[in-house]
Structure 1
Amino acid sequence: MSNQKLKNNELIELDVKGDPRGQLVVLESKVDVAFDIKRVFYIYGTQKNISRGDHAHYKTKQFLICINGYCKVTLQYADETKVYQLDEPNKGVLQDKMIWGSMHDFSEDCVLLVLADRAYEEKDYIRDHDVFLELSRKNKNL
Structure 2
Amino acid sequence: MDPIIVKNSGYIELKKIQDERDGNLIIMETLKNIPFEIKRVYYINNLENSVSVRGKHAHRELEQVIFCISGSFILGLDDGSQKQKIFMNKDNIGVLLGKHLWHTMEEFSSGCVLLVVASDYYQESDYIRDYNLFKNIVGQQ
TM-score between both structures, scaled by the size of structure 1:
0.90
SS of aligned partner of 1:52: strand
Percent of aligned pairs with the same amino acid: 36
Aligned to 1:31: 32
Matched residue count: 136
Deviations 1:70-129 (A, max 9, x none): 011111111211211110101110000111111111111100001000000000000000
CA RMSD of aligned residues (A): 1.6
Q: 1:84 aligns with which of 77, 83, 86?
A: 86
Aligned to 2:42: 41
Separation in 2, partners of 1:99, 1:107: 24
Aligned to 2:15: 15
Structure 1 residue ranges without an equivalent (≥5):
none
Deviations 1:24-44 (A, max 9, x none): 001010111111000011111
Q: Any residues of structure 2 matched to 1:62-101 within 5 Å, and which?
A: 62-101=64-103
- Deviating above 2 A after TM superposition, structure 1's stretches of 4 or more consecutive aligned residues are 5-8
Separation in 2, partners of 1:108, 1:23: 21
Give the AA of the match of 2:39: K
SS of aligned partner of 1:6: coil
Separation in 1, partners of 2:12, 2:38: 16
Separation in 1, partners of 2:136, 2:8: 20
Separation in 1, partners of 2:127, 2:7: 21
